[in-house]
Structure 1
């Protein structure tokens, strides 16, 4: 998993030394260092990020066209990292006494707390950012939904040949639920995590159970 660790903040009266060269990761780290619970990446200016990275503003353009492109890169990085670790959790569930749903939700919450700034970009920019950010978040959601749909079909088939009605819709419902609850969790203390994990696990089970039940009894009207 790709992990970005924001640099230690400089002293208030210190100015970062100008660097001769800089990478994309350096600029991504600089942007992450500037955001927080009350500061969205969509409010950052190119000059702020360049100053945090220790480069002249013009040097920014060697790596990104503009702040939109940098933010989209952060969203993609967050999505890739989260999909990787959730996929690993699903694999571990096969040899665990905990169910795949519970383990996946626990892993999601652990990642949210461990990579809170990166996750903040993924969970918040889709509602507060520009159209480009929203499209980038939506792409990540679609990736999650596609992978989850395959898992739901596989898990149902392994359970005595069960089937799901509209597995793509079930996967979408679960993904949107988890992301919405994750956005809520960012505003809550970690002490609330066990309660949220329990709630999310039950909600997902309800969606899966409903999809299985409706497969045998299609709704009318």
Structure 2
């Protein structure tokens, strides 16, 4: 990963380059995050960015980067954390608008896939960085997935109580659903829209199968021994 500092680009007494003139005197964390977001996308992960490249996009000298971030790993973790918060808010709002169990499943998955279709770079970061880059990236993505799982676990418990359907191993059920959706979502990034629609319908069915399974296991567990 490129963490080298800029070398002077002009000789003493020479006019400064146009790039140097355009550099910002003051830079914030938000400026650097915004610059990194401009560079990433479905086919460009955070792990492929160099410090020099981000600094150039932000209009700063590379050594100015260190005033806000320790290194590229810290920047990547900040992006992953932001991606997780953004998506949790979107999906959380979709879940809380729903009342019935089936609409919670469908609403959450449709909200997820709509973000994928909208070319949401934050979602792309969350889907890609768990399999590439440093251990810090992977740990950050894992932490965000656990946040999703815990919020879903609480919603599943709430719905099971309201509908009196029973729930077997709420944490494991939430993990199965979360990991399935994120894995399938990662594979959907390069799909054409019609294939994404097909995948969305399949995901809704698969998640409902998991929920029916957990309800059946809960019912079996509740049966008195013969």
Using structure 1 for the length normalisation, give the TM-score: 0.87
Could you tell me how far apart the structure 1 residues matched to 2:93 and 2:147 are? 16
Could you tell me how far apart the structure 1 residues matched to 2:31 and 2:83 are? 16
Q: CA deviation at 1:62?
A: 1.1
| Residue 143 of structure 1, aligned match among 147, 159, 168 | 147
Asked if the contact 2:129–2:138 (Cα under 8 Å) also holds between the matched residues in 1, the reply is yes
Match of 2:130, SS?
helix
Question: Residue 131 of structure 1 corresponds to which residue in structure 2?
Answer: 135
- Structure number with greater Rg is 2
Q: Provide runs of 4+ in structure 1 moved above 3 Å.
A: none
Q: 1:208 to 1:82 in 2, by over 3 A?
A: same
Could you tell me how far apart the structure 2 residues matched to 1:106 and 1:15 are? 44
Using structure 2 for the length normalisation, give the TM-score: 0.85
Match of 2:191, SS?
coil
Could you tell me how far apart the structure 2 residues matched to 1:40 and 1:191 are? 25
Question: Residue 156 of structure 1 corresponds to which residue in structure 2?
Answer: 160
Match of 1:64, SS?
coil
How is 1:41-80 mapped onto 2 (pairs within 5 angstroms)? 41-80=46-85
Q: CA deviation at 1:190?
A: 2.3
| Residue 120 of structure 1, aligned match among 115, 119, 124 | 124
More displaced stretch, 190-199 vs 59-68:
190-199
Could you tell me how far apart the structure 2 residues matched to 1:179 and 1:74 are? 17
| Residue 198 of structure 1, aligned match among 198, 201, 226 | 201
Could you tell me how far apart the structure 1 residues matched to 2:133 and 2:165 are? 41
Q: CA deviation at 1:115?
A: 4.5
Any stretches of 5+ residues in structure 1 without a counterpart? 1-13
Q: CA deviation at 1:18?
A: 0.2
CA-to-aligned-CA distance 1:129-151 (integer Å, 9 cap, x gap): 21000000000000000000011
Alignment partner of 1:101 is 2:101: no
Q: CA deviation at 1:123?
A: 0.5
CA-to-aligned-CA distance 1:24-52 (integer Å, 9 cap, x gap): 11111111211233322101111110011
Q: CA deviation at 1:217?
A: 1.9
Q: CA deviation at 1:216?
A: 2.0
Could you tell me how far apart the structure 2 residues matched to 1:15 and 1:116 are? 30
How is 1:2-21 mapped onto 2 (pairs within 5 angstroms)? 15=19, 17-21=22-26
Could you tell me how far apart the structure 1 residues matched to 2:57 and 2:69 are? 16
Could you tell me how far apart the structure 1 residues matched to 2:141 and 2:95 are? 22
Asked if the contact 2:41–2:125 (Cα under 8 Å) also holds between the matched residues in 1, the reply is no
Question: Residue 4 of structure 1 corresponds to which residue in structure 2?
Answer: none
Could you tell me how far apart the structure 2 residues matched to 1:38 and 1:165 are? 39
